Amino acid sequence: MGNITLKQVTKSFGDVNVIKPIDLEIRDGEFIVFVGPSGCGKSTLLRMIAGLEDTTSGNIEINGQDATDMPPAKRGLAMVFQSYALYPHMSVRNNIAFPLKRAKMDKAEIDKKIANAAKILNLDSYLDRKPGQLSGGQRQRVAIGRAIVRQPSAFLFDEPLSNLDASLRVNMRLEISELHKSLATTMIYVTHDQVEAMTMADRIAVFNGGIIEQVGTPLELYNKPNNKFVAGFIGSPKMNFIDAKSPDNDKVASIGVRPEHLQISTEKGMWSGTVGVTEHLGSETFLHVQLDGAGTFTVRADGECTLAYGDKIYLSADPSKIHHFDKDGVSINKV
């Protein structure tokens, strides 16, 4: 069991209100990602769920039980910190054993669990080393090992991959996803990286300034963003926005099109412009186009695109792929 319910939860540091009232239902076994720009309160909310920060108002329920004022040790959750937070004076073995010893588990059982975790995480040959003698990726594995042995009802991750280099990050991302599939335990994962959110999540909660802008599956957020913020945050490269009126809906103040939904033509189209910088990635090409009206569009073209700086082109998009927003940035359903 591992469902967590937040009811009108808020947090203030002194006079500064960093979490506005938040309601959220986290289901047993799901992988939910809190994503948002840095400073929007993701870590704070995660730490409140963990019990490391107290809750200013509202309620946190874990497995149907009110846990708002429970100390962290009693909540049955495990946390993996960005800094790994290993115990520097203990061997890897003792780091992993620490939570089991606190739970007064007997020695034979502890050894069995450590051996098992070491096998899953490829830590066999490092068990007697101190954290200081391990690489970043290995430390991250130890931190995960220490979390899984306790069989918590949910895992909390706070930007666990941000101290790793890019290629290791991709590997660990897969490992964590695989771990989630095999354990089928609730995971709450905080990141500022929308790629991590899109690739790992069952559901994503997009944070902005202490509120949740939208909760949904990666594709829901991609296809039906509630507002301009979510539309711009999810997807890479970012969605293009321009101010525009729609002939059939006078509430529309701006429209948005994703770079991958624009078609290029040299003869005709909805918008005309001049090619600026082109970025060739091999499999695809990003064109930065200066529109003749106003603004710039980023366009995703295929890898063989031969357009170059200064070329005149036309762009168009399938009307069903164009997002409409009112003057407050709220999405207007398809007209």
Ligand X SMILES: Nc1ncnc2c1ncn2[C@@H]1O[C@H](COP(=O)(O)OP(=O)(O)O)[C@@H](O)[C@H]1O
Work out which of 11, 93, 139, 141 binds other proteins, going by CB under 8 A. Answer: 139
Closest approach of ligand X to the CB of residue 143, in Å: 18
Burial class (CB in 10 A: 0-12, 13-18, 19+), 185: buried
Contact window for other proteins (CB under 8 A) among 80-88, 187-195, 215-223, 314-322: 80-88
Work out which of 31, 84, 241, 325 binds other proteins, going by CB under 8 A. Answer: 84
Work out which of 79, 127, 221, 239 binds other proteins, going by CB under 8 A. Answer: 79
Between 36 and 51, CB nearer to other proteins:
51
CA distance 51 to 68: 8
Q: Check binding of 44 to Mg ion (CB under 5 A).
A: no
CA distance 148 to 96: 9
Closest approach of Mg ion to the CB of residue 111, in Å: 36
Closest approach of ligand X to the CB of residue 40, in Å: 4
CA distance 256 to 319: 11
CA distance 123 to 224: 42
Q: What Å distances lie between residue 86 and 51, 98, 312, CA to CA?
A: 19, 10, 57
Between 187 and 212, CB nearer to other proteins:
187
Q: Which residues contact 267 (CB under 8 A, 6 or more apart)?
A: 314
Q: Check binding of 183 to other proteins (CB under 8 A).
A: no
Q: In one letter, which amino acid is 119?
A: K
Q: Check binding of 78 to other proteins (CB under 8 A).
A: yes
Between 87 and 309, CB nearer to other proteins:
87
Q: What Å distances lie between residue 113 and 25, 96, 321, CA to CA?
A: 31, 9, 51
Contact window for Mg ion (CB under 5 A) among 37-45, 123-131, 197-205, 252-260: 37-45
CA distance 32 to 218: 10
Q: Check binding of 166 to other proteins (CB under 8 A).
A: no
CB of 185 within 8 A of CB of 154? yes
Contact window for Mg ion (CB under 5 A) among 41-49, 88-96, 111-119, 196-204: 41-49
Between 43 and 186, CB nearer to Mg ion:
43
Work out which of 15, 38, 71, 294 binds other proteins, going by CB under 8 A. Answer: 71
List of E strands, the chain = 4-13, 16-26, 31-35, 57-62, 65-66, 77-80, 154-158, 186-191, 203-208, 211-216, 240-243, 254-257, 262-265, 271-280, 284-291, 296-302, 312-317, 323-325, 331-332
Per CB under 8 A, which of residues 185..214 are in contact with other proteins? Answer: none
By DSSP bridging, strand 77-80 and strand 154-158 are parallel
Q: Which residues contact 208 (CB under 8 A, 6 or more apart)?
A: 36, 37, 40, 229, 233
Contact window for other proteins (CB under 8 A) among 97-105, 230-238, 300-308, 313-321: 97-105
Q: Check binding of 123 to other proteins (CB under 8 A).
A: no
Partner in contact with 150, chosen from other proteins, ligand X, Mg ion, none, beta carbon below 5 to 8 Å by kind? other proteins
Q: Check binding of 319 to other proteins (CB under 8 A).
A: no
Q: Check binding of 43 to Mg ion (CB under 5 A).
A: yes
Strand partners, 285: 280, 301
Q: Check binding of 191 to Mg ion (CB under 5 A).
A: no
Per CB under 6 A, residues contacting ligand X are: 13, 18, 36, 38-44
CA distance 283 to 315: 21
Closest approach of ligand X to the CB of residue 80, in Å: 15
Q: Which residues contact Mg ion by CB under 5 A?
A: 43
Q: Which residues contact other proteins by CB under 8 A?
A: 50-52, 71-73, 77-79, 81, 83-89, 98-99, 102-103, 130-133, 136, 139, 146, 150, 163
